[in-house]
Amino acid sequence: MADNSIFKEFGISGELLTLVRKAETGIRDTFKRIEDISEYNHLKVTRSMQKNRLSDTHFAGTTGYGYGDRGRDVLDDIYADVFRAEKALVRHNIVAGTHALSIAMSGNLISGDRLLSVTGKPYETLEQVIGLRGNGKGSLAQFGIEYAQVDSICNGIIDTGKIRQAITSDTKMVYVQRSRGYSWRRSLSVEDIAVITEVIKGVKDDIIVLVDNCYGEFAEEKEPVEAGADLVAGSLIKNPGGGIAPTGGYVAGNAEYVENAACRLTSPGLGSDAGPSLGHNRLLMQGLFFAPHAVSESLKGAVLCSAVMKKLGFITSPGPGEKRHDIIQAVRFKSREELVTFCQGIQSGSPVNSFAAPEPWDMPGYDCPVIMAAGGFVQGSSIELSADGPVKAPYTAYIQGGVIYESVKLGLLCAVQKLLDKGMANIIRKSSI
Ligand SMILES: *Cc1c(COP(=O)(O)O)cnc(C)c1O
């Protein structure tokens, strides 16, 4: 038996440690499933690196225009291969997932076109891209691009009729959000995306299906392009950056559509041929190499979190044994104080800024105060362990990332210990009847 005394340094009681270890033994089969997916994806990534003859010479950076940046081009080719896409655009100067999605949309839509979301309200930060909120400056709406939305997932089931009905002759692009985002709805599997894509293409086969792939990469063996999606976009400080990429985003899919997005990122005429990598290639490659494992560690952490919180009587989604298609774990608390205490506990177990206690604040773009716990090495990185939630009923924390299972477990132990110490949870010793 390992020496438990180190846990005391974090204030973790023996009783809680026992509970968490018991929970771990109950989720071994789920862990095995996650490890199998991770192994497959690790091989997939490595094979893509081999096929593209990745070499240490590709790690050298370019400056200025960045013409003939071999490393950048090989990185694009490796991503294209991993995502089974014709082409990919992977750049450190795509600032975030929002930016990647924004260029995928604005590069492929013109005045009079209509964008349709079939997964209801899009992720918060996209509202200003579309022009649903804010002053509208530079938004799709300002350029005459229309928007409609339909929530086609009812009680976890895809309502294909609703999708069909929502498509009009102007519909040029359909937005599908793979991850649950900050909502209680389930995430979409790649199989679900195949169903949605088939319905859309059945009505009008030139509609561009854009999948918001944030938080979904490597959660399954397949990726959305394999399910018929035309474009995927995401952030490198989430799954595909493996906790190593310092910043960046990607777009992958149909070659013409990806190049259109590149023309928005740089300019028409420059497209994907310009843009210096400035020496970031190695970290973006290495991040991709780490990504399948980082995702599986995060998934295992999420499963443990779900199992432990459920044992303590909290409502969790997904449940510990449920199939996962993204890395987000939602836990419902009964009050503001419980939610804040939990998030502060997560922060206290972090390697960076462990001494800081996050407080709810009025973040731009949200309609209520939000609490965010993050103690990672890259600012805002949510492939590293983070927990956040809008501070309003129903008090829900969204926990994601971790990169390293042990770090999620420690964060969880610290968070639960804080709840126990404040009498907001208790360990019920059930006598076996
Ligand atoms: C994170 C995320 C985004 C983009 O957010 P950024 O913070 O700009 O990276 C978009 N959609 C979903 C579902 C996300 O999780």
151 C-alpha to center of ligand 1: Å? Answer: 19
The answer, yes or no, to whether any atom of ligand 1 lies below 6 A from the CB of 235, is yes
Q: How far is the CA of 96 from the centre of ligand 1 (A)?
A: 7
Contact 404, 427 (CB under 8 A): no
pLDDT computed for residue 93 by the predictor: 97
Helix (H) or strand (E) holding 102: helix 97-106
For residue 179 and ligand 1, the question of a CB distance below 6 A is answered with yes
Q: Is 97 in the pocket of ligand 1 (CB under 6 A)?
A: yes
DSSP state string for 287-328: HHHHHHHHHHHHHHHHHHHHHHHHHTT-EEES-TTS--SSS-
Say which amino acid occupies 154. C
Pocket mutation for ligand 1, best pick of 95, 214, 250 (most atoms within 8 Å of C-beta) = 214
DSSP state of 189: P
How many whole angstroms separate alpha carbon 244 and alpha carbon 388?
A: 22
Ligand 1 close to Cβ of residue 181 (< 6 A): yes
Pairing, β 231-235 against β 208-212: parallel
Which two three-digit tokens encode residue 19?
A: 């509970």
Q: Which atom of ligand 1 is nearest to the CA of 215?
A: 15
Helix (H) or strand (E) holding 163: helix 160-166
Between the CA of 1 and the centroid of ligand 1 the distance, in Å, is: 42
Using the mean position of ligand 1's atoms as its centre, give its distance from the Cα of residue 355 in Å.
Answer: 27
CA-closest candidate to residue 327, choices 214, 183, 222, 175: 214
| Closest atom of ligand 1 relative to the 126 alpha carbon | 10
Nearest protein CA to atom 12 of ligand 1, as residue = 214
pLDDT on residue 134: 85
> Under 8 Å CB-to-CB from 428, ≥6 apart: which residues?
313
Q: Please provide the distance, in angstroms rounded to a whole number, between the alpha carbons at the two ends of the chain.
A: 29
For the Cβ of 96 lying below 6 angstroms from any atom of ligand 1, the answer is yes
Is the minimum distance from the CB of 212 to ligand 1 under 6 angstroms? yes
Gap between the Cα atoms of 245 and 285, Å rounded: 8
pLDDT tens digits for the chain (433 residues)?
Answer: 577 899 999 999 999 999 999 999 999 999 999 999 999 999 999 999 999 999 999 999 999 999 999 999 999 999 999 999 999 999 999 999 999 999 999 999 999 999 999 999 999 899 999 999 888 999 999 999 999 999 999 888 999 999 999 999 999 999 999 999 888 888 999 999 999 999 999 999 999 999 999 999 999 999 999 999 999 999 999 999 999 999 999 999 999 999 999 999 999 999 999 999 999 999 999 999 999 999 999 999 999 999 999 999 999 999 999 999 999 999 999 999 999 999 999 999 999 999 999 999 988 767 789 999 999 999 999 999 999 999 999 999 999 999 999 999 999 999 999 999 999 999 976 544 4
Three-class SS state of 126: helix
Report the distance separating Cα 363 and Cα 368, nearest Å. 8
CB 151 within 8 A of CB 184: no
CB within 8 A of 102, min separation 6: which ones?
126, 129, 264
- For residues 180 and 187, give the distance between their C-alpha atoms in angstroms, rounded to a whole number: 4
Residue bearing tokens 């190499």? 289
- pLDDT for the residue numbered 128: 93
Ligand 1 centroid – CA 401 distance (Å): 14
Chain centroid offset of residue 354 CA: 23
The alpha carbon of 130 and the centre of ligand 1 are apart by a number of angstroms equal to 14
Whether the CB of 189 sits within 6 Å of ligand 1: no
254 C-beta closer than 6 A to ligand 1: no
DSSP 373: E
- Residue 162 three-state SS: helix
> HSE-up of 421 (CA within 13 Å, CB side)?
12
Q: Is the CB of 71 under 6 A from ligand 1?
A: no
Task: Report which protein residue has its CA nearest ligand 1's atom 14.
Answer: 214
* DSSP strands (E only) in 225-268: 231-235, 249-253
| Residue 333, token pair as written in the block | 């608390």
pLDDT score recorded for residue 146:
98
- Length, in residues, of the chain: 433
Beta carbon of 177 within 6 Å of any ligand 1 atom: yes
| 87 contacts 259 by C-beta, under 8 angstroms | yes
Q: Which helix (H) or strand (E) holds 127?
A: helix 126-130
Nearest CA to ligand 1 atom 9: 97
What is the number of the ligand 1 atom nearest to the C-alpha of 97? 9
Residue-level pLDDT at 432: 42
Distance 14 CA to ligand 1 centre (A): 38
Q: Is 122 in the pocket of ligand 1 (CB under 6 A)?
A: no
What is the token pair recorded at 332? 């419902």
CA distance 176 to 192: 10
Cα–Cα distance between 28 and 379 in angstroms, integer? Answer: 32
Residue 79 in contact with ligand 1 by CB distance below 6 A: no
The answer to whether 217 touches 195, Cβ cutoff 8 Å, is no
pLDDT for residue 431: 45
Cα(413)–Cα(326) distance, rounded to whole angstroms? 23
Residue 49 Cα to ligand 1 midpoint, Å, equals 27
Q: Is 125 a pocket residue for ligand 1 (Cβ < 6 Å)?
A: yes
Kindly state the helix (H) or strand (E) to which residue 387 belongs, with its residue range: strand 386-390
Residue nearest to atom 6 of ligand 1 (CA): 97
pLDDT for 53 = 98
The residue type found at 430 is K
pLDDT given at position 3: 79
Residue 298 CB–ligand 1 contact under 6 Å: no
Name the pairing type of β-strands 315-317 and 329-332.
antiparallel
- Report how far residue 102's alpha carbon sits from residue 125's, in angstroms, rounded to the nearest whole number: 10
